[in-house]
Amino acid sequence: MKTGNGGSDYRANQSQSNTGLDAYLNYTTGVDVVPGVFDLTGGYSYGWSHAEYPWYLATGLTTDVLGGNGVASARTVQNFQDIQESRLISFFGRVNYNYGDRYLVAVSVRRDGSSRFGPANEWGTFPAVSLGWRLSQESFMRSVTALSDLKLRASWARTGNQAFGNYQQYAAYFLGDAQTQVQFGNQYIPTIRPSAVDPNIRWEATDAYDIGLDFGFLNQRVSGAIDWYTKNTKDLIFTVPVAAGTNLSNFITTNIGTMKNRGVEMTLSARLIEGNRRGLTWTADFTAARNSNELVTINPFAGSATQIPTGLVAGGVGTFIQVLQPGVPVHSFNVYRHKRGADGRPVYADTDGDGTVEDIELYEDLNGDGKLNQDDKAPFHGPAPTWMLGFSSYLSYRNVDLSFTLRSHLGNYVYNNVASNLGTYAEVTRASPYNLHASVLETGFRTPQYLSDYYVEKASFLRMDNVTLAYSFT
């Protein structure tokens, strides 16, 4: 007997566990032959993560009774088991030296091993050294009574990054035939689902150089710091597309090249008004940071690449809107320059009178070859801000407290994928109800223009993150 064949059954039972062990030993002492104090630390760290993501799906369930035993059958049975496991082992040591709170030296080193990398590249060594000179403790500065702290710092450090998907994982995919009974797992046919991996992937390493100045005045009523830094990253880890047929997936995580960041960071704190316990008190903090980012080189992989497309967008099939290209910021928007009319609006017109609107009529021919192709796309701004600003204010009077925090990003851009995907009059030809982006009233686009620089928009903002008003009852 058989009735119906459209039922389905889905089950999932996911689990994840993390185990960690951290141990360290610290010893502080003075040495007779050397003035000052030494602070020594050595330790070991172990982290293990294990996760299982099994799921089971049976479709085409019926009430067909086989052999009179009342067992339901399924047309298709799928059972997937994904097991991921990773380990990170670290040995670390540090030596701090302090002489009279004037001369400060710190030296440290880490030896990290990660299972996310292949056997040949599991281990990485990451040293660091920093120097500090507190000028305010010197005799020639003590006459400056308004100065409460002045410290000059310099440091160099190498840090590692292994933050990407597990290099080794087990994934089994089971398919059952049309008459496989739901409860009979031993009839499933196991096959391994391969994933694309780069067995030679290495630790991403960043060398950071920093020079800083800490200062304080009027018994630290006004204090702050300025830092100038440069960070050079090699073996940059990214997930990037690969040429068709060269691997088991369209994307692979690998080391793609080198990158540079440089900039300045500033902080300033001030107790602007200092009242007594029931008087008016006002404290303010200001931070500012400017960063310049640039991709320096690209390693050859899957051929010799001069740029790597990234940032898939909705609407187009395989359309990438960003690029990794030497000489420009990481993830810069890679678009065509849209021609503009006298009114500043993007052009959408049949200028040669052939009855069709062609790309060469809409976009700038940047290389001047008389045709429009991939060579006419060019990087156009990036998503990262040039300036990051922050301001916090804390006011109190008697039993009332008022505080707020402001945050601002300047010089950053965003690609408006909602407008590019729904910003054409083609939407009105689809089944209603339909969404039509308001930008079409300005552009008049009748066909999608996903790669137009028109959709790269300024994203600078000033945001008040929170405001708190409180009253304390006695």
Asked if residue 4 is part of any domain, the answer here is yes
381 phi and psi, to 5 degrees? 65, 175
Report the pLDDT value the prediction gives residue 182, as an integer from 0 to 100.
Answer: 35
Sequence-distant (≥ 6) Cβ neighbours of residue 145 within 8 angstroms: none
Q: What is the mean pLDDT of residues 171-198?
A: 43
Residue 355 has pLDDT above 90, yes or no: no
Report how many domains make up the chain.
Answer: 1
Instruction: State residue 83's pLDDT score.
Output: 83
Give the list of residues 6+ apart from residue 371 with CB closer than 8 angstroms, or none. Answer: 360, 365
Would you tell me how many other CB atoms lie within 10 Å of the CB of residue 385?
19
HSE at residue 6, side-chain half, CA atoms within 13 A, is 1
Cross-strand partners of 21: 46
Closest CA to 332 of 341, 316, 321: 321
| Residue 431: pLDDT band with limits 50, 70, 90 | confident
Does 42 score more than 80 pLDDT? Answer: yes
Residue 417 lies in a domain: no
H/E segment holding residue 12: strand 7-12
Where is mean pLDDT largest: 10-14, 234-238, 442-446, 459-463? 459-463
Classified as helix, coil or strand, 313 is coil
For residue 408, is it within any domain?
no
Q: Which pLDDT belongs to residue 33?
A: 75
Residue 158's SS3 state is strand
Unique residue bearing structure tokens 């933050």: 163
* Structure confidence by residue, pLDDT tens digits, 253-301: 888 899 999 999 999 999 999 877 668 999 999 999 999 999 999 987 6
Query: Region 377-403: what's the mean pLDDT?
Result: 95
Residue 354 lies in a domain: no
Quick one: the chain helix, strand, coil %, rounded to 5? 10, 55, 35
Per-residue pLDDT, averaged over 464-472, amounts to 95
CA distances from 6 to 61, 63, 174, 224 (A): 6, 10, 21, 69
Rounded CA-CA distance 422/433 in Å is 13
pLDDT classification of 426: cutoffs 50, 70, 90:
confident
Residues 297-317: tens digit of each pLDDT: 998 764 456 888 889 898 888
Does residue 8 sit within a domain? yes
Asked, for residue 53, whether it belongs to a domain, the answer is yes
Contact 197, 226 (CB under 8 A): no
**Which is more confident, 101 or 24?**
24
**How large is the average pLDDT for residues 234-241?**
87
The confidence score (pLDDT) of residue 176 equals: 44
pLDDT value for 243:
67
> Which domain does 182 fall in, by range?
1-205
Give the three-state DSSP class for 215: strand
Flag whether 325 is in a domain: no
pLDDT at residue 167 in the model: 53
Mean pLDDT of the residues in the chain: 86
Q: Is the pLDDT of residue 473 over 90?
A: yes
Q: How confident is the model at residue 63 (pLDDT cuts 50, 70, 90)?
A: low
Q: pLDDT per residue over 98-140, tens digit each? A: 998 899 999 999 999 998 888 889 999 999 999 999 999 888 8
| Pick from 51-65, 83-97, 361-375, 414-428: least confident | 51-65
250-289 per-residue burial string, b: 16 or more CB within 10 A, e: under 16: eebbbbbbbbebebebebbbbbeeeeeeeeebbbebbbbb
Indicate whether this model's pTM tops 0.85: no
In a domain, 33, yes or no: yes
